[in-house]
Chains A and B, each alone.
Chain A
Amino acid sequence: MACTHLDDLRPVVPDSRRCEACVAIGADWVQLRMCLTCGRVGCCDASPNRHASRHASESGHPLVRSVEPGDSWRWCYLDEEYV
């Protein structure tokens, strides 16, 4: 089933170059993702704390994009697919 959450997106700007939640607890991360609803930057699911997906489940914001240099893919947590 095609993801319908893209329809409501507006341009957002990332809130940081780091995973601030990891920085606050002194943790490391593997890669960074940005919430496409509010711009919150968090760490990916390969990182120990998975702050991006935690943010998605707490806020209900379904879509993220990779903010790794050279990446442009997006992921929908609700539909569990690249969009």
Chain B
Amino acid sequence: MTAIEPSGVERIRVRRVARLREQLLDEGVPLPLDAPQSQVLLEELDYASHPPVHEDRAPRYGSLVSFGARPHWSALSVPTRLESAGTDLDVLRKLADGRASFVVRTADGTEALVCFDRSLEYEASAVRLCSETGAFVVQRTRDGLVRACGPDGVITWDTVQWSFKPLAEHHAAPILRLASQIDPEVLSGLLELSVHWLGAGRVGATLVLSLIDDPRALAHLELASAIEISPLHVTRHEHFPALLSVLGQMDRAALVAPDGSISTLGAGLEWSERASVLIRPTKGTRHTSARRFSFDEPSAVVIVVSEDGPTTVYSDGAAATVVRTDACRVAGAGAAAFTGPGIPDPAGEAEVVCPVCAKRLLVDEVRFDGWAGGPDEQRCPVCDTVVLIDAYRAAIRGVRKVLPEA
């Protein structure tokens, strides 16, 4: 076999990066491919996809790509400095294991190494590193997956297709719109734990966020086999590994107080006969019980993490949001995300009451004077009843949470 000249290797690499760019565009992968520094990001994705194989083993790899002069290290809890600046990039890449050592590439042409004193191997750590430094975190994992965490979400290449999962924090706003009583910091921590720790680790779990001070006082709980622990908090990242561990070994629900503390595990969820009648079984036992419980308990929100990854938030008997990984070409994630400026129209918000389940439904609508096409038909997200909305077009966003009077 004839060896390929170094210049030939470089030509192949350049063509491969160009093809990668076309593929990402075709599949609507939400990356800033038109930004001036996108070439560096493409090169890193390409290297992570095609690392040099040594003794039949493809190594792990990791890099931080900053579109600014350098990543923002100041938010990191561990002092961080660049090493090996001036070293050839091919050598730097061999030093970067994607767990605790990463190549750093910046807009001003810096190529260096950064070393941490802990592993940042998993999705949760990479998301946090991205959030704190503002850099894209590109990794090739032990399983050969290529993952890029950016400001919009987590992009994954599994050797078959590109997939996209939005960041958990992007799902807080629609929930708070329905349930403004929730502490935003607690919700943010709860979503991060659910989406980037439990869901990413394929750990199924149910978490009940109480909006009354003592979650054990919620009416539809069965606590006979529940256990008490010293409080762990969803607002404290150092508690997440312990929560991941214990939730992976217990069935039933963990109770979260309004301040984000968890001190009760293994609580059973119960519901009324009316909830059974109005809410049909959905997606399996864990989801059905969570949804029916949330119907009867307006003072709670229930987060269900499925073992196959998605996280669903139930409030008042309906899903308030679902966070999941979708294949880009199926979901059109990139295209759908950029269909308009996304400025909400306060004049287009209304409330209607479902005539059957009596929940107050939050509706976004568009009205036109002179529209003669009749009301829009929508289905109640709780009981599936057809609801007529006097508008040109309408979309029911969920149930507006109203706490019972004390």
Task: Give the interface of A toward B (CB within 8 A).
Answer: 11, 13-14, 16-17, 30-32, 44-46, 66-73, 75, 82
Contacts and interface: CB of A to CB of B under 8 A. Distances in A.
B167 interface: no
Contacts of A32: 393
Contacts of A73: 340-341, 343
Nearest to B334: A46
Instruction: Report the contact-size class of chain B (Cβ under 8 Å from the partner).
Output: 20 to 34
A46 B335 contact: yes
B93 to A, nearest CB: 37
A82 B341 contact: yes
Contacts, number: 70
The secondary structure that dominates the A interface is loop
Given A44-B339, A68-B340, A69-B394, A13 B370 contact: yes
Contacts of A13: 368-372
27 contacts: A11-B369, A13-B371, A13-B372, A16-B373, A30-B336, A32-B393, A44-B339, A45-B339, A46-B339, A66-B340, A68-B340, A68-B366, A68-B395, A69-B348, A69-B393, A70-B344, A70-B349, A70-B364, A70-B366, A71-B340, A72-B343, A72-B345, A72-B347, A72-B348, A72-B366, A73-B341, A75-B340
Q: Which of A45, A68, A71 gathers the greatest number of chain B CB atoms within 10 Å?
A: A71
B152 interface: no
Interface string B336-379: 10111101110111000000000000011110111111001000
Contacts of B372: 13
B332 interface: yes
Nearest to B374: A17
Q: Which of A14, A44, A70, A72 gathers the greatest number of chain B CB atoms within 10 Å?
A: A70
B370 A30 contact: no
B271 interface: no
B365 A70 contact: yes
B393 A68 contact: yes
A30 B364 contact: no
Contact of B365 (A30, A46, A69): A69
A71 B348 contact: yes
Contact of A46 (B332, B348, B373, B391): B332
Given A11-B370, A13-B371, A14-B368, 18 more contacts: A11-B369, A13-B368, A13-B370, A14-B371, A17-B373, A30-B332, A30-B335, A31-B340, A69-B363, A69-B394, A69-B395, A70-B348, A70-B366, A71-B348, A72-B343, A72-B347, A72-B366, A73-B341
B343 A67 contact: no
B146 to A, nearest CB: 26
B392 interface: yes
A44 B341 CA distance: 13
Q: Which of A30, A69, A75 gathers the greatest number of chain B CB atoms within 10 Å?
A: A69
A13 B344 CA distance: 21
A17 B369 CA distance: 15
A41 B121 CA distance: 48
A67 B339 CA distance: 12
A82 B339 CA distance: 12
Given A13-B371, A67-B393, A46 B366 contact: no
Nearest to A16: B373
Interface string B372-406: 11001000000000000001111100000000000
Contact of A17 (B347, B365, B392): B392
A50 B127 CA distance: 35
B366 A67 contact: yes
A39 B39 CA distance: 42
A46 B373 CA distance: 26
B335 A71 contact: no
Nearest to B393: A69
Contacts of B371: 13-14
B231 to A, nearest CB: 39
Given A13-B370, A68-B366, A46 B341 contact: no
A75 B340 CA distance: 9
Q: Which of A17, A44, A67 gathers the greatest number of chain B CB atoms within 10 Å?
A: A17
